C-alpha cells in the first residue's frame, strides 16, 4: 500500500470500522509508517465517489501514530541520533504504551518497552527498532 502522507510503500497493520450508515461504512486503515486514513465504502463495496481518503483523527490512536512517525524519523538518523532525542521520545513511548493491553498471554507493552529502553546491551538503533515494533503492536491492540 502506498502512503500518500510520507510517500513510501508500506503495509497496513490494522483496520477499524469507525461508522456505518445507509450509504456505506467508513473504515480507519492504519499503516506501518504511522499514518492512518479513513475511507468510506458504499454498500456495494466500492469506494465512495463523493470524496477521497481523509487523514485519521481517531483519538485513541493519534498519539501512538505520531510516535510511530517520529520513531521512523529517528531510525533514519541512526548514526546521528542524539541520546537526549532518544530519551525524550522513549519517555513518550512508555507513557503512551502504559495502559494499552498486550496480546493474550504476553507481558504488558509498557513493561516490554521499559526493558528495551534500559538494555545496556542494545545499540541505540536497536532500541528505536524495538520501540517502533511495540508501537505497531499497540496500534493493532487498540484496533
Which grid coordinates are listed for 75?
531510525
**pLDDT tens-digit series, residues 16-72:** 888 888 878 888 888 888 888 888 887 665 655 444 677 777 776 778 888 888 998
Report d(CA 50, CA 43) in Å as an integer: 14
Query: In the chain, what are the domain boundaries?
Result: 12-56, 60-141
Measured in residues, the chain has a length of 143
Burial 79-100 (b: 16+ CB within 10 A, else e): eebeeebbeebbebbbebbeeb
Place of cell 513518550: 92
Q: How confident is the model at residue 101 (pLDDT cuts 50, 70, 90)?
A: low
pTM score of the predicted model: 0.64
Amino acid at each position: 500500500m502506498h502512503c500518500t502522507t510520507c510517500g513510501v510503500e508500506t503495509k497496513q497493520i490494522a483496520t477499524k470500522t469507525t461508522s456505518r450508515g445507509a450509504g456505506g461504512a467508513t473504515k480507519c486503515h492504519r499503516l506501518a509508517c504511522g499514518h492512518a486514513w479513513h475511507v468510506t465504502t458504499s454498500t456495494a463495496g466500492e469506494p465512495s465517489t463523493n470524496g477521497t481518503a481523509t487523514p485519521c483523527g481517531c483519538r485513541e490512536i493519534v498519539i501512538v501514530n505520531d510516535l510511530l512517525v517520529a520513531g521512523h524519523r529517528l531510525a533514519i538518523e541512526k548514526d546521528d541520533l542524539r541520546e537526549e532525542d532518544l530519551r525524550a521520545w522513549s519517555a513518550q513511548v512508555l507513557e503512551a504504551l502504559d495502559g494499552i493491553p498486550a496480546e493474550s498471554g504476553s507481558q504488558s507493552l509498557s513493561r516490554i518497552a521499559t526493558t528495551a529502553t534500559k538494555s545496556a546491551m542494545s545499540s541505540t538503533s536497536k532500541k528505536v527498532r524495538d520501540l517502533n515494533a511495540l508501537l505497531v503492536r499497540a496500534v493493532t491492540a487498540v484496533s
